């Protein structure tokens, strides 16, 4: 690519999308966030503002820098505002149909044929999304981790069609501009981290589901016995049980291995709206205030 990636678009202003936009704005980038409508765009702005305020309160960011970052962000209810972007990161719900629809729309809207269209998917093969466009060579995975302003890792995933120069440009963007550490993954469901993590989380769900141990004891065992900073069921609650289930389904769909199959308890909890921290209740109970 000619020049650096300085004009960034983020599609989806939920928790992950808002955090991705925040780290881009904190890095000094011209960043536009697109949501479904004006009300959702206002909600995205509030999420970023709250995250920046928490960083200030914790001494991780000074007040002036936080205000400057928020001022760099534009929040919109229209995809058309992505037309001049050099890099667009899709961060909508972990659903293949929803993501495919976004990529098909971006392909028509983003004007620069050299612009890179990236997905923050946790598990959906990049090729499937790239083939929804006429520029599969410019489509790749750019998977951030929760919480984005804190965790340093980014997975970069190239499909069979992704151009090497697009991969290089995004790796330089992630490392040099955002200060992240990059690991490369082949384009297979789950990539590196979730292919290892999800079976572990599902094993913990099955243990609680069987009555072998309580959720509290499962988490305490891994925190105190294995020095994990967070037990597996607390981590599942943090990720969101709907997201964990979606990743598991994507992994199982690709590999047909039982260890990837979402347990019935997990499926029932998702159906009941017990999604973890974001709903106030999952395997544990949380204060949503």
CATH number reported for the structural domain that contains residue 198 in this entry: 1.10.1040.10
The mean per-residue pLDDT over the stretch 161-172 comes to 97
Give the CATH number, domain containing residue 144: 3.40.50.720
* Average pLDDT value over all residues in the chain: 95
Residue 246 domain boundaries: 193-279
Please check the confidence at residue 289 and state whether its pLDDT lies above 70. no
Residues 5, 169 contacting (CB under 8 angstroms): yes
Indicate whether 48 belongs to any domain. yes
* Catalytic option among 123, 194, 249, 250: 194
Instruction: Calculate the CA 170 to chain-centre distance.
Output: 16
Whether residue 173 sits in one domain with residue 216:
no
Helix (H) / strand (E) element for 193: namely helix 193-210
What pLDDT is stored for residue 82 in this prediction?
78
CA-to-CA separations, 46 to 147, 238, 257, in angstroms, rounded: 16, 20, 41
Is the pLDDT reported for residue 2 higher than 50? no
231 lies in the same domain as 102: no
Same domain, 161 and 29: yes
Q: Is residue 99 part of a domain?
A: yes
Domain boundary (152, 185, 218) is at 185
To the query of whether residue 90 is one of the catalytic residues in this protein, the response is: no
- Judged against a pLDDT cut of 60, whether residue 123 lies above it is answered with yes
Which is catalytic among the residues 22, 90, 94, 155? 155
Query: Of 185, 203, 228, which residue constitutes the final position of a domain?
Result: 185
pLDDT at 1: 46
- Is 194 noted as a catalytic residue in this protein? yes
- CA atoms of 77 and 126, how far apart (whole Å): 25
Is the separation of the CB atoms in 115 and 83 below 8 Å?
no
Same domain (yes/no): 20, 162: yes
Q: Is 155 a catalytic residue?
A: yes
Higher pLDDT, 83 or 197: 197
The string of DSSP letters for 55-70 reads: HHHTTSS-HHHHHHHH
| pLDDT at residue 288 greater than cutoff 80 | no
Query: 146 catalytic, yes or no?
Result: no
Q: Which residues lie across from 224 on neighbouring strands?
A: none
Q: How many domains does the chain have?
A: 2
pLDDT over 70 for what percent of the chain?
99
Residues 181 and 217 in one domain: no
Catalytic residue among 51, 76, 120, 122: 122
Q: Based on the domain organization, do 27 and 122 belong to the same domain?
A: yes
Catalytic choice (143, 159, 161, 250): 143
- Among the listed residues 205, 199, 214, 197, the one whose alpha carbon sits nearest the alpha carbon of residue 266: 205
Mean pLDDT over 239-260 rounds to 94
Tokens coding 254: 């690709």
């Amino acid at each position: 690519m000619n020049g650096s990636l300085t004009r960034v678009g983020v599609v989806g202003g939920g928790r992950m999308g808002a955090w991705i936009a925040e780290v881009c704005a904190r890095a000094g980038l011209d960043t536009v966030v697109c949501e479904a409508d004006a009300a959702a765009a206002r909600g995205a702005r509030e999420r970023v503002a709250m995250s920046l305020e928490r960083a200030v309160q914790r001494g991780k960011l000074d007040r002036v820098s936080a205000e400057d970052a928020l001022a760099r962000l534009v929040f919109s209810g229209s995809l058309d505002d992505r037309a001049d972007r050099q890099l667009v990161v899709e961060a909508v719900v972990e659903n293949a149909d929803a993501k495919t629809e976004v990529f098909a729309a971006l392909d028509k809207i983003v004007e620069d044929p050299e612009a890179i269209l990236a997905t923050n998917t946790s598990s959906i093969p990049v090729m499937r999304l790239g083939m929804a466009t006429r520029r599969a060579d410019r489509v790749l995975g750019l998977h951030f981790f929760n919480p984005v302003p804190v965790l340093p890792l980014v997975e970069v995933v190239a499909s069979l069609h992704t151009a090497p120069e697009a991969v290089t440009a995004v790796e330089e963007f992630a490392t040099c501009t955002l200060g992240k550490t990059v690991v490369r993954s082949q384009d297979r469901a789950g990539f590196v981290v979730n292919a290892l993590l999800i079976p572990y989380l599902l094993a913990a769900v099955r243990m609680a589901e069987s009555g072998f141990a309580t959720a509290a004891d499962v988490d305490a065992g891994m925190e105190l016995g294995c020095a994990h900073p967070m037990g597996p069921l607390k981590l599942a609650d943090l990720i969101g049980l709907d997201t964990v289930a979606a990743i598991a389904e994507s992994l199982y769909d690709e590999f047909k291995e039982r260890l990837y199959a979402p347990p019935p308890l997990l499926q029932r909890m998702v159906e009941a709206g017990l999604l973890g921290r974001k709903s106030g209740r999952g395997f544990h109970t949380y204060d949503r205030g």
